[in-house]
Amino acid sequence: MDVLISEVGPRDGLQSIAPIMLKEDKMLWIRRAAAAGVREIEVGSFVPAKLLPQLADTAEIVTGAIEIPGLTVAALVPNARGAADAIAAGAHKITLPLSCSESHSLANLRRTHAQVLEEARAIAGMIRALPKERRPHFEGSLSTAFGCTIEGRVPEAQVAGLAEALMAAGCDEVGLADTTGYANPVAVRNMIAILWSAVGKDALTGIHLHNTRGLGLANALAAFDAGLTTFDSSLGGLGGCPFAPGASGNIVTEDLVFMFEAMGVRTGIDLDALFAIREIVANAVGGEPLYGFAPEAGLPKGFVQATQAKKDVHA
């Protein structure tokens, strides 16, 4: 495959919507996504159940999802305690968010940068203590990297400094996250160049984008052109802000996969099978709007996916 689409709907999509999805529905979604060719899914977050009832079953979901062959099961962890739970459940990848805006970090996680970095060091130590084959991949996510609603734009040098600090704390990788939809294609390209020069190309391969101001796919294109290869997205753009249809959710997996496949870039995901999952998810979150232009419009006449075309050639 040419790019890795990391489905974050079961975590980032669900966490902002009220109707609680049943564990069975989540597992059906995850299994169907994996069957459609999705190779990485962020299935939940190890936060206290009281804080986020929607994700209270994350440990059970991880336990179930790791049985699916070929699927990388990722989970978000707010701290070392969550990481311990994620490791115990068998997550293949754990992501610790660090908000580049310190005001946002305090408001959101109630932690300073120094405190989050301390958690990162604790998690890295925990992972090093594991036998090699049980060690999850550990990513530090640079959230609000392009700015936040409290501080506005975050200086690029600050983001680069935090990326270095996360790598020094023991992360395997950092990820770039436009939590608030402040990014634009030029900012994406600049930030990638700055981070690569700070931590090296191997330490930054992925980006997490929101479509808050409609630039989600343009930003994904800019990141792909710059050389990133992992893209977070959410089925149906789930988790969009209810006051403005489509206004705040993650970029839509279906549209993202359609864009890459149309461009000749293989995602490994079958679009028809992906589109078919929408009904399961829509039913399971009753009434919550699903977004996505490609699934509504349908594929262009005569459309052949890159994944399919190149598979045929080698068949």
Q: At what angle do helices 185-199 and 216-226 cross, to 10 degrees?
A: 40
Residues paired with residue 92 on neighbouring β-strands, in sequence order = none
Compute the least distance from the CB of residue 9 to its own copies, in Å.
16
Q: How far is CA 81 from CA 45, 94, 123, 274, in A?
A: 12, 12, 9, 34
Residue 296 as a binder of its own copies (CB under 8 A): the answer is: yes
Single out the residue of 108, 118, 131, 50 nearest to residue 81, CA to CA: 118
Contact in structure between 17 and 248 (CB atoms under 8 Å): no
Question: Cβ closer to its own copies: 11 or 210?
Answer: 210
Residue 70 as a binder of its own copies (CB under 8 A): the answer is: no
- What DSSP designation does 155 have? P
Contact in structure between 55 and 296 (CB atoms under 8 Å): no
Interactions with its own copies, residue window 231-260 (CB under 8 A): 241, 244-248, 252, 255, 258-259
Residue 192 as a binder of its own copies (CB under 8 A): the answer is: no
Question: Cβ closer to its own copies: 127 or 274?
Answer: 274
- What DSSP designation does 299 have? P
Dihedral in degrees, nearest 10, Cα atoms 138, 207, 103, 126? 0
Question: Cβ closer to its own copies: 8 or 220?
Answer: 220
Residues paired with residue 234 on neighbouring β-strands, in sequence order = 252
Binding region for its own copies (CB under 8 A) out of 30-38, 83-91, 177-185, 195-203? 177-185
241 is catalytic: yes
DSSP secondary structure string for all residues of 129-145: TS-GGGPPEEEEEEETT
d(CA 274, CA 295): 9
Q: How far is CA 254 from CA 121, 239, 308, in A?
A: 36, 15, 16
Compute the least distance from the CB of residue 40 to its own copies, in Å.
22
Residue 263 as a binder of its own copies (CB under 8 A): the answer is: yes
Compute the least distance from the CB of residue 79 to its own copies, in Å.
28
Residue 292 as a binder of its own copies (CB under 8 A): the answer is: yes
111 SS3 class = coil
Residue 187 as a binder of its own copies (CB under 8 A): the answer is: yes
Dihedral in degrees, nearest 10, Cα atoms 309, 311, 314, 315? -110
Interactions with its own copies, residue window 194-233 (CB under 8 A): 211-215, 217-218, 220-222, 225
Compute the least distance from the CB of residue 219 to its own copies, in Å.
9
Compute the least distance from the CB of residue 2 to its own copies, in Å.
12
Compute the least distance from the CB of residue 282 to its own copies, in Å.
14
Instruction: Pick from 18, 51, 264, 272 the residue near its own copies by CB under 8 A.
Output: 264
Interactions with its own copies, residue window 24-53 (CB under 8 A): none
* Residues annotated as catalytic (active site), given as ranges: 241
Q: Which residues bind its own copies (CB under 8 A)?
A: 147-153, 180-182, 184-187, 211-215, 217-218, 220-222, 225, 241, 244-248, 252, 255, 258-259, 262-264, 292-294, 296-297, 300-303
